[in-house]
Structure 1
Amino acid sequence: MRTAGQMRKSLVTNEGKQAQPVSNLRSNKLPDYRVYILSRGQRLWCVVFGGVLFYMMGYLFYQNAVLSFLFAFGGFIVPRFWREHLLNRRRATLNLHFKQALYSLSSSLSAGRSVENSFRDAVDDLLMLDPGAQNDLIFELRVIVSRLEFGEPIEAALQDFARRAGLEDITNFADVFTTCKRNGGDLVEVIRRTSTVIGEKLDIQQEISVMIAQKKFESKALLISPFLLLLFMNMTSADYMESMHNSAAGLVISTFALFALGGCFWWITKMMDIKV
Structure 2
Amino acid sequence: MQNNNLTVYYQCNMTKKDHITVYVLASFLAAAVVYLFYHLIIISVVLGLFLGYFLEKIYAQSTITKRQKKLLLEFRDFLENMSVAANAGDVEYKAILSARNALKQVYDDDADIIIEINNIINQYENGGRKLTDLFMDFANRSQLEDVKSFATIFSVIEGKSNNFGAIINQTYNIIGDKIEITEEIETAITSSKSETYTMLCMPIIIVIFMSALGSGFMDSLFTTTVGHIVATVALALFAASFVIAVKAINIKV
What is the TM-score with the length of structure 2 in the denominator? Answer: 0.94
Q: Which residue of 1 aligns with 2:112?
A: 136
Separation (CA, whole Å) in 2 of partners of 1:235 and 1:212: 35
Alignment of 1:152-163 (within 5 A): 152-163=129-140
Q: Which residue of 2 aligns with 1:14?
A: none
What is the TM-score with the length of structure 1 in the denominator? Answer: 0.86
1:106 aligns with 2:79: no
Q: Which residue of 2 aligns with 1:273?
A: 250
Contact kept? 2:89, 2:165, Cα under 8 Å: no
Contact kept? 1:177, 1:187, Cα under 8 Å: no
Output the aligned Cα RMSD.
1.5
Separation (CA, whole Å) in 2 of partners of 1:3 and 1:179: 23
SS state of the match for residue 140, structure 1? helix
1:261 aligns with 2:249: no
Separation (CA, whole Å) in 2 of partners of 1:221 and 1:162: 37
SS state of the match for residue 104, structure 2? helix
1:186 aligns with 2:167: no
Separation (CA, whole Å) in 2 of partners of 1:133 and 1:236: 57
Q: Which residue of 2 aligns with 1:13?
A: none
Separation (CA, whole Å) in 1 of partners of 2:98 and 2:160: 25
| Counterpart pick for 1:49 among 25, 31, 44 | 25
Opposite residue 125 of structure 2, the aligned amino acid is E
Q: Percent identity over the alignment?
A: 25
1:206 aligns with 2:183: yes
Opposite residue 96 of structure 1, the aligned amino acid is L
Q: Which residue of 2 aligns with 1:20?
A: none
Opposite residue 165 of structure 2, the aligned amino acid is V
Opposite residue 61 of structure 1, the aligned amino acid is F
Separation (CA, whole Å) in 1 of partners of 2:180 and 2:131: 29
Contact kept? 1:36, 1:83, Cα under 8 Å: yes
Separation (CA, whole Å) in 1 of partners of 2:2 and 2:215: 66
> Displacement of 1:32 after TM fit?
1.5
Q: Deviations over 1:41-62 (max 9, x none)?
A: 1111111101110111111111
Separation (CA, whole Å) in 2 of partners of 1:38 and 1:49: 15
- In the alignment, structure 2 segments of 5+ residues that lack a partner are none
How has the CA–CA distance of structure 1 residues 121 and 54 changed in structure 2, closer, same or farther, with 3 Å as cutoff? same
Q: Which residue of 1 aligns with 2:12?
A: 36
Separation (CA, whole Å) in 2 of partners of 1:238 and 1:57: 22
Higher mean alpha-carbon deviation, 139-148 vs 177-186, is at 177-186
Q: Which residue of 2 aligns with 1:58?
A: 34
Separation (CA, whole Å) in 1 of partners of 2:215 and 2:221: 10
